[in-house]
A and B are shown apart, each in its own frame.
Chain A
Amino acid sequence: MRAFSLFSPPKVLADGERKKRRHMLARLGLAWLAMMQVMMFAFPGYLRGSPSSDDASLLDQAVFLMNWCSLALTVPVVLYCAWPVWSGALGRAQRAHLGMDVPVALGIVAAFIPSAMATWSGRGEVYFDSVTMFVAFLLTARYFELCARQAIGIGGLHRHLERYRRALAARADSIAAWFTAAQLLLALGAGAFWHAADPSRAVGVVVALLVISCPCAMAMSVPTAIAAAHARVLRRPDMDVAEVDALARATSRVSRQSLYGSMAWHLLMTPLAMLGWVQPWLAAITMLLSSLAVGANSWRLYRRDCLPAGDWPADAIQGA
């Protein structure tokens, strides 16, 4: 059994953790399923703006129908798949602490409510595709994080690395909180500006900014790097303390790279979104890309001088 299997949980997992993993996988899969459907249903809506649509009434009818289908698919995504976001945001709000769930929840609400109203009235833009993409991509990042965390739980616990983890995680959390607060203020300001300048685009700009403000990639930077370090220790249990120290320094370097890299990426996208150049769905994709880049950076730490290049991992063959 590999230390990291994305779909089958580790065998020694406690019941509660196993249930959490199953729920997370179900939420992730259903969100992706609904997302694919809703993205297809969104297509006629994008056609409507183009001048070449010669049969406008038929197109309007199709858009109307497909908006209702999208709404039917988006409601379960918002209520069931995004449940961890709601519970997290409510818990945070009670403790008056700004986590990453608050901007995510605001982003979902800001996109979903106007879309549902537009569907009901049959006029205006809908953002169901952005909502489902946002939820699906966010859950993908969180699922990877959960897998990484649960993989750490198995095997002898590696205290030496834990010490580094605490320091790194505390710093990453405080950076992410400041970052999120600044982004929220920016989103509000940009929303007010666009509402005065061009009200029809205000919702799109605010949704894109709220999507970008989600620090999911930043939240992934420390757990994935630490998980990669633990996986390396698991692979080579005979490491001495000096080697583990070197590994911990490498881990800290990689997680810092990921943290500042994803922050720079967000800061680069923010002005573009404020100018209205980034559609909400594009913002969701850039968010997924930065999360994947963080995951890949940590994976590099695990790969480096650990596996011979071009060779299968030994335990995949031996079933260790």
Chain B
Amino acid sequence: MDAALYLLLPISLVFALGIGVAFWWAIFAGQFDDTDTAAKSILGDDDGPRLD
């Protein structure tokens, strides 16, 4: 029981740290800057008949 606590608590801390770092990266890499264009690109696709 003690051993499990001493093992699991640090692991959960490391996970929380990893999530925090990933979140930090995502914000400053601009992942949240434009949530619109990629989602709508399929609507702007050229749906005309293929010419070749």
Interface of B is mostly: helix
Tell me, yes or no, whether B5 is within 8 Å of chain A by CB. yes
Q: Which residues of B contact A29 (CB under 8 A)?
A: 23, 27
B19 touches A1 (CB 8 A): no
By the criterion of a CB under 8 Å from any partner CB, how many residues of chain B are at the interface? 21
- What 6 A-B pairs come out closest when comparing CB atoms? A8-B35, A26-B27, A7-B32, A29-B23, A22-B27, A37-B16
List, sorted by A's number, 13 A–B pairs whose CB atoms are closer than 8 Å.
A5-B35, A8-B32, A8-B33, A22-B28, A29-B23, A33-B16, A34-B20, A37-B12, A37-B13, A65-B5, A66-B9, A69-B9, A69-B13
- For residue B43, which residue of chain A has the nearest CB? A319
Q: Which residues of B contact A22 (CB under 8 A)?
A: 27-28
- For residue A76, which residue of chain B has the nearest CB? B20
A234 to chain B, nearest CB (A): 17
CB under 8 Å from chain B, chain A span 4-41: 5, 7-9, 11, 18, 22, 25-26, 29-30, 33-34, 37
- Chain A interface (Cβ < 8 Å from any Cβ of B): 1, 5, 7-9, 11, 18, 22, 25-26, 29-30, 33-34, 37, 58, 61-62, 65-66, 69, 72-73, 319
A59 to chain B, nearest CB (A): 11
What string of 1s and 0s marks CB contacts (under 8 Å) between B1-38 and chain A?
11001100100110010011001100110001111100
Interface of A is mostly: helix
Bound Cα distance from A15 to B43, whole angstroms: 30
In the complex, number of A-B residue pairs with CB atoms less than 8 Å apart: 52
Bound Cα distance from A30 to B23, whole angstroms: 8
Q: Which residues of B contact A72 (CB under 8 A)?
A: 13
A26 touches B28 (CB 8 A): yes
Q: Which residues of B contact A319 (CB under 8 A)?
A: 36, 40, 43
Identify which of A18, A30, A58, A66 gathers the most chain B CB atoms within 10 Å of its CB: A30
A320 to chain B, nearest CB (A): 11
B8 to chain A, nearest CB (A): 10
- For residue A34, which residue of chain B has the nearest CB? B16
A132 to chain B, nearest CB (A): 12
Bound Cα distance from A22 to B6, whole angstroms: 36
Q: Which residues of B contact A65 (CB under 8 A)?
A: 5-6, 9
Tell me which of B5, B12, B43 contacts A61 (CB under 8 A): B5
Q: Which residues of A contact B27 (CB under 8 A)?
A: 22, 25-26, 29
Bound Cα distance from A5 to B39, whole angstroms: 15
Q: Which residues of A contact B40 (CB under 8 A)?
A: 319
Bound Cα distance from A66 to B8, whole angstroms: 11
Bound Cα distance from A1 to B9, whole angstroms: 43
B32 touches A25 (CB 8 A): yes
